[in-house]
Amino acid sequence: MNPSTSPPGPFPPAPAVPRIAALDVLRGFALGGILMVNVSAMANLLGGDGHPADDLVGLLFAGKFYVLFSFLFGYSFTMQLRSAERDGAGARARTVRRCLALIVLGALHAVFLWLGDILLLYGITGLILLLMRAIRPRTALIVAGTLMILVTLLSLATSTLEAGDPTGGLFDPANQERMRAEFRSGWLEAAGVRWELYSAIGVLLVVFQLPTVLAMFLVGLAAGRTRLLEDPERYLPFLPRIQLIGYGVGGAVTLAVSASRWADRGAAPFLEPLSELASPLLSAAYAATVLRLMHRYPAVPAALAPAGRIAASNYIGQSVATSILFTVAGLELSPWAVLGVAAVVYALQLPLSAWWTRRHRYGPVEWVLRAVTYGPRRARPAGGAARREAR
């Protein structure tokens, strides 16, 4: 489908900012990696316990895909500002409404479906990015790099300390067994356990993840300011170099951290903080690989772009599917089987997304966010022309 055209559907159209195929493809790709990281905790509340399947996820997926998603959010932020400028509307009010909607949606998502929600953090960080919206691309990159170095140093410092349990014994073995039992006893019981956990550690999760997310937002903002992904002729020549650095440096550091962890030599606590710097490099290499494949094989954008166009709905949909399987149905599977479930859910999302986007302009979650951002009255442009949204 030509990305500049709109299929019929009941959802309201968007500002006249054309979609960017690369963004949709990368979002669709990132959805699969995010589910592979999340599914262990989705199935078992507190995640895995050092099984080889968890090690594989740590090596290939963990820390790489939420970084990519954050970069894409920062890029989309610049397009929303462009959209507001074209409409002669105030970007501040629109962005605040959208971020507040993300915060509310994320809080509900964290309690009722998936404890590791990222939308709430995106809403909070989006408000910070709004305050920094006038920053120059070069300055944004400098600030992002500084944040990543500070996060690495903080992680290195804390890895040498033996901190006590800040939750007052919430993660004692007996209490963990109690929470896991409640997690599988019913949907409302699971929501109660999630609320108990989020009340204890939610602030810590936000505080410790926010600098990395903000750094990636700023990198995405810098790329969006220069419209980097809107012209393949500009970014294609750099992709091999990004792959070389990403796989060569980021991949080597990630492999060293994983090898140390597997060998249990005691060096992992000192190497682990380096993952904070290695993960974005490896994430960039993944993205470069997908972009090169996208321009070489038409089947790649055909498969991934529809899922990326309704990424928020797919993200929530993953939580709904796994909540039904592991909480309502109470499935208890081996770690390898859990990863298999994630692969099947993602594989089903791709054709379902293609089916949906042929019939509707937006996914259900995207429609809600748009209604809050632009107001429910903004249903159709003059003349009934359907216009695409760049997210």
pLDDT at 189: 86
- Cβ neighbours for 306, distance < 8 A, ≥ 6 positions apart: 24, 28, 350, 353, 354, 356, 357
The region, left, alpha or beta by phi > 0 then psi within -120 to 50, assigned to residue 238 is alpha
Low-confidence ranges of the chain (pLDDT < 50): 1-16, 265-267, 379-391
Rg (alpha carbons) of the chain, rounded to whole number: 21
Q: What is each CA distance from 195 to 35, 112, 188, 331, in whole angstroms? A: 21, 8, 10, 22
Answer for the pair 40, 323: CB distance below 8 angstroms, yes or no. Answer: no
pLDDT at 292: 97
- Cβ neighbours for 206, distance < 8 A, ≥ 6 positions apart: 120, 121, 124
pLDDT at 196: 86
Return d(Cα 260, Cα 134) in angstroms, integer. 43
Residue 344: Cβ-neighbour burial (10 angstroms; 0-12, 13-18, 19+):
exposed
Among the listed residues 262, 359, 276, 273, the one whose alpha carbon sits nearest the alpha carbon of residue 310: 359
Tokens of 140: 């944004």
This prediction has a pTM of 0.86
Return d(Cα 289, Cα 218) in angstroms, integer. 22
Q: What is each CA distance from 298 to 294, 301, 306, 320, 344, in whole angstroms? A: 6, 6, 13, 31, 23
What is the residue-wise DSSP string for 345-386? HHHHHHHHHHHHHHH-SS-HHHHHHHHHHH-TT----GGG--
- Name the one residue in this structure whose structure tokens are 């790099």: 145
Tens digits of per-residue pLDDT, 363-382? 999 999 999 988 765 534 33
Answer for the pair 345, 322: CB distance below 8 angstroms, yes or no. Answer: yes
Q: What is each CA distance from 77 to 35, 125, 231, 371, in whole angstroms? A: 24, 12, 18, 17
Helical ranges in the chain per DSSP H: 21-44, 52-60, 65-87, 91-112, 119-131, 137-159, 173-183, 187-225, 232-235, 239-245, 251-263, 268-271, 275-296, 299-309, 311-323, 335-359, 364-374
Return d(Cα 302, Cα 358) in angstroms, integer. 12
pLDDT at 11: 38
pLDDT at 168: 58
The helix/strand/coil state of 3 is: coil
Tens digits of per-residue pLDDT, 134-179? 999 999 999 999 999 888 888 777 766 655 555 556 777 778 888 8
Q: What is each CA distance from 10 to 192, 360, 372, in whole angstroms? A: 36, 7, 17
What is the distance in angstroms between the CA of the first residue and the CA of the last residue of the chain? Answer: 18
